[in-house]
Amino acid sequence: MAAPAMAAPPACFPMAARLPLPTSITLPDAAALVPVVGCRRVAVKHKAVVVLGATGTGKSCMAIDLALRFGGEVINSDKIQAYAGLDVATNKVGPAECAGVPHHLLGVVHPDAEFTAADFRREAARAAAGVASRGRVPIIAGGSNSYVEELVEGDRRAFRERYECCFLWVDAQLPVLHDFVARRVDEMCRRGLVDEVAAAFDPRRTDYSRGIWRAIGVPELDAYLRSRGLGDVSDEQRARMLAAAVDEIKANTSRLALRQRGKIQRLARMWRVRRVDATEVFLKRGHAAAEAWQRLAAGPCIDAVRSFLQEDQEYSSMVTASLFASRAAAAVAAAAV
């Protein structure tokens, strides 16, 4: 039997705005995060959400879904998307996809600069502190798992000292994901990938190992773009060179997804990670894909984050009830003397 025909989901998976907003969650204020026990105040960490996933699995849309639900702001942890420019090649979310959710560390680094994992840790920690100070939830999302690991485990685990983390993993079966990645590259080409890279092309550049020029889609097009200035290369030859470059982009993106998934599996052995399988989303079209996303991916993650954010409220209520009960018992005992 032939495999079912596959269609790419929408450019961004169904947003949380398409689901009824929850009525049972109220984010705790600053006072609620510091419950009183006897005469001591017990410091409770801020909460942060980390969304993991290989390229193409819907991390960005999941982060936006969660931010819309719970009053969050997204901190980008994709090293290539941190650079300014080449928005199609780096597959940055656009203003419409962001749905009004503030995004940090997205398109802010100079294209030629080096932005190391240590740089990311410093800037992401600063962004998270700002988000938390506004009473909102930092949501870290992106495909550079080495950056996420450096944020969480680096600098003597300073981030873990300040934040309790909820780790989510949006996953999909690799054969299905590879097929989707190939379709997404074709869609990026229709959106102007080749023209975008051509506009930034510099024939004097030979080093594609630094800055934004490492982005998949840039070095692969080098030979094709150089051929456009050669009079002895026919249109047919250039067409073959372009097709070969697109095939290489697809292959390199699939290899990236494989490496990312392997790194996430390692992190999942270190951290308590909630995995959701979005494979079925990629096998459906239209409304059916939206329903599958809500049922299999967004819904379970929303439930997990709701429970995660309510833990402190429940603990604070428990402590307050216990304190009142202790005081009431003491008053009764005193009155009986």
Measured distance CA(82)–CA(110) in Å, rounded: 9
Q: Which has the higher per-residue pLDDT, 30 or 211?
A: 211
Instruction: Answer positive or negative: Cα dihedral of 318, 139, 160, 40.
Output: negative
Q: Which band of pLDDT confidence, cut at 50, 70 and 90, is reported for residue 232? A: confident
pLDDT at position 231 is 76
Residue 204 domain flag: yes
Measured distance CA(44)–CA(34) in Å, rounded: 6
Residue 295 domain flag: yes
Q: Say how many domains are in the chain.
A: 1
CA 216 to chain CA centroid, Å, is 18
Statement: residue 198 has pLDDT above 90: yes
Q: Which band of pLDDT confidence, cut at 50, 70 and 90, is reported for residue 229? A: confident
Residue 28 domain flag: no
Lowest mean pLDDT among 117-121, 239-243, 267-271, 284-288: 284-288
Instruction: State the average pLDDT over residues 124-131.
Output: 98
Statement: residue 173 has pLDDT above 50: yes
On whether the pTM is more than 0.85, the answer is no
Instruction: Answer positive or negative: Cα dihedral of 256, 63, 90, 277.
Output: positive
pLDDT at position 312 is 63
Measured distance CA(322)–CA(78) in Å, rounded: 45
Q: Which has the higher per-residue pLDDT, 218 or 3?
A: 218
Q: Which domain holds residue 244?
A: 44-326
Within the chain, where are the H helices? 59-70, 95-98, 117-133, 145-162, 174-190, 193-200, 222-227, 235-270, 279-282, 286-292, 299-336
Residues whose CB falls within 8 Å of the CB of residue 53, separated by 6 or more in sequence, listed in order: 59, 62, 143, 169, 170, 171, 260, 264
Cα-Cα-Cα-Cα torsion 286, 185, 92, 295, nearest 10 degrees, comes to 30
Lowest mean pLDDT among 28-32, 168-172, 264-268, 276-280: 28-32
Residue 111 domain flag: yes
Q: Which has the higher per-residue pLDDT, 335 or 300?
A: 300
Residue 258 domain flag: yes
Residue 117 domain flag: yes
**Mean pLDDT (the chain, rounded):** 85
Residue with tokens 């999942």: 268
Residue 185 domain flag: yes
* CATH, residue 181: 3.40.50.300
- Strands 273-277 and 163-171, bridge-based pairing: parallel
Instruction: State the average pLDDT over residues 66-70.
Output: 98
What's the pLDDT tens digit per position in 306-320?
999 997 654 444 434
Instruction: State the average pLDDT over residues 192-199.
Output: 98
pLDDT at position 12 is 55
Residue 209 domain flag: yes
Phi, psi of 5 (to 5 degrees): -65, 140
Instruction: State the average pLDDT over residues 210-232.
Output: 93
